[in-house]
Amino acid sequence: MLKNDMSFIDPHIHMSSRTTDDLIAMKKAGIAAIIEPAFWLGQPRTSVGTFRDYFNSLIGWERFRASQFGIKHYCAIGLNSKEANNEKLAEEVMKILPLYAQKEGVVAIGEIGFDEQTILEEKFFRLQLDLAKSLNMLVLVHTPHRDKKQGTLRSMHLCLEHGLRPEKVIIDHNNEETVKDVLERGFWAGFTIYPKTKMGNERMVEIVKQYGPERIIVNSSADWGHSDPLAVPKTAWLMIEKGIPQEHIKQVCYTNALQAYSQSGQFNEADWLLNKDVTLELYDGNSVLRGQESLESIQGNLIIR
């Protein structure tokens, strides 16, 4: 059973794929703030209007929805690597990215990078790195599932080539094969904890034991696939069981994400420490409220296992 005497940040979670029950469970488990990067929705989008609607939901609806459960929501905006392979559409998306990148609550350009490591993926990766540099923004990099080490090394090379400082780039979806290279080059190293793929939390414990907590960030990347929105707190409690010092646990499950993303000027701890109220207003006049009156009434007697 998870306790709620620790606070957590999940700096990579796709809330548009999650349910109300997930938000309740996340709050109960101690998740105070989240970042939702723009990503692929599971099937190709066919027009720039669908991107516009999606980006609007990230800066508006999803932020509001999380606030109903006492969770502070931020996002990253970008053209994902899979959809960069549709060149005509990708060029249209690039035209609207600067508008959304500068909206309130947007903490980075992301997630961007490589999937199949194609020429078009690199083209739009480079263009978005240029955009991030011009706006002095952080970058969240998606590393590929296949040929991960090659894609990770190439991603870091491109970031440096475009004049981005490593401390302003989060390289995500690392594993045992990439972590040493990422940390040695001074980048932030994100780790996605998935039940079946990417990193398991047992493996995450071993990485923290071996490399320590510096510049390591744990996230769930929970989406529409087999994933767990409680991956960050569950990994933290496993670390406690395995004897990881509590200050190291706080660092990889809270402080490092705060330090990395606070560079954006948009991600401030005071946002959730000083304002713990649940939003009880309607969003654009809709009727999504279902009788909740307080955080306690939302949480009820839910037990997190």
pLDDT tens sequence across 124-159: 999 999 999 999 999 999 999 889 999 999 999 999
- Beta strand spans in 44-105 (E): 72-77
Question: Rounded mean pLDDT of the chain?
Answer: 91
Diameter of the chain measured on Cα atoms = 53
- Encode pLDDT of 164-177 as tens digits: 999 999 999 999 99
pLDDT along the chain (305 residues), means of 10: 73 95 96 97 92 97 93 97 96 98 97 97 98 98 94 98 98 97 98 78 94 98 90 96 96 98 97 76 62 52 39
The whole-angstrom separation of Cα 82 and Cα 276 is 37
| Residue 33: closest CA among 195, 267, 239, 213 | 267
Predicted local distance difference test score (pLDDT) of residue 281: 65
190 membership: H or E segment, kind and range: strand 188-192
Question: What is the number of residues in the chain?
Answer: 305
**Residue 121 is encoded by which pair of tokens?**
């993926």
Distance between CA atoms of residues 83 and 80, nearest Å? 6
**Candidate CATH numbers 3.20.20.140, 3.40.50.1220, 3.20.80.10, 2.60.120.10; the one for domain 8-267:** 3.20.20.140
Extract the tokens encoding 227: 């994933």
Q: What is the pTM for the complete model shown?
A: 0.91
DSSP secondary structure string, 254-300? IIHHHHHHGGGSS--THHHHS--PPP-S-STT-----S--SHHHHHT
